[in-house]
Structures are given as C-alpha cells and as structure tokens.
Amino acid sequence: MANRTILGKNNLNKYGLYVSKPGINVDQASLPEHYSFNSDWSSGAVIHFSGTIAEGQTLYFPLLPYMPLIMSWGIKADGSQAGRYRLSWGYEDRYYVPGLSEYESEYYSISYEGPLLENGYGHVTFPSFNGPSYAGSIHPYAKFVVLRTPAS
C-alpha cells in the first residue's frame, strides 16, 4: 500500500502537510494532480457556509475578511439539479465589478455584500428572477456554498 501522508519535509525538500491521492506514493509525488491535499496550494476548499436558497430569499452568514468564492447550482422545482451558476469571476453575460461585490447574469444574479454590512454578517441574495419567464420557473431554487477561499 502506498504511503499517502507526509507531515514535515517532503521529497521536494519542502515542509508542510502533503496527502497523495489513493494509489500514489506521496514520497514520489511531484505533480499537482498527485495530491489530494498540499499545503503549498494558495488556498483550500473549506466550506464556510452552505444552504439552499429560494428565489427572492436572502441568507446571512458570518462575515469573512475577503470576498469569498461562492459556488451555486440551480435547482428545479422537483428537486433535480440544473447547471451551475458560475460566480466570483466574470464570464460571458455575467460580470464582476471589483468593489461592488456583485455578480450578475442576464437571467440571475447572486450578490455578496459582506464588506458593506456592519452587523458582522455577509449575505447571499437570490433575487427574484429578472429574465425570460421559462428560467425562473425552471430554477426557483439554488444550492450554494461559500468557501473560505478568496475569490481573487
């Protein structure tokens, strides 16, 4: 069975916590894809807050000192999953305005306004649908995770 964990000095003479993927000997790991965890990475994927949000709803969570990476997936009325809303970076009809902490699409927008609040909580808002009628009826819910990972 492969050695999978190093806490200390690794084969590349670096100190940290290194965990290889199953079947890969951590003593011989050298490529990013060899690791399931590597403390040399710039950040991890610790879940700060997660939940299911309905159209028009706002959920609050403890404030983070930076703009977090937020991932969200559309959920249909029957509970099945639609696609992912890609947040925290601009793409096509979505955009991110630094400082305004807002992400929008033609059809959806989810905003994070933590730095603007003073009560110690950030929030995620899934506003009422503002696009063509079919999408709002198809994806009335969204599941989301706020990661303890700076978005930029």
Summarize as ranges the residues that interact with another protein (CB under 8 A): 7, 15-17, 37, 39-48, 50-52, 64-66, 73-74, 76, 79-86, 91-94, 105, 134-135, 138-139, 143, 145, 147-149
Distance CA 80, CA 2 (A): 39
For residue 13, CA distances in Å to 29, 51, 62 come to 12, 41, 38
Residue whose C-alpha is closest to residue 151's, from 109, 105, 106, 97: 97
- 147 Rama class: left (phi>0) / alpha (psi -120 to 50) / beta: beta
Q: Which residues contact 69 (CB under 8 A, 6 or more apart)?
A: 87, 88, 146, 147, 149, 150, 151
> At its nearest, how many Å lie between another protein and the CB of residue 81?
5
Contact yes or no for 113/123 (Cβ under 8 A): yes
- 8 Rama class: left (phi>0) / alpha (psi -120 to 50) / beta: left
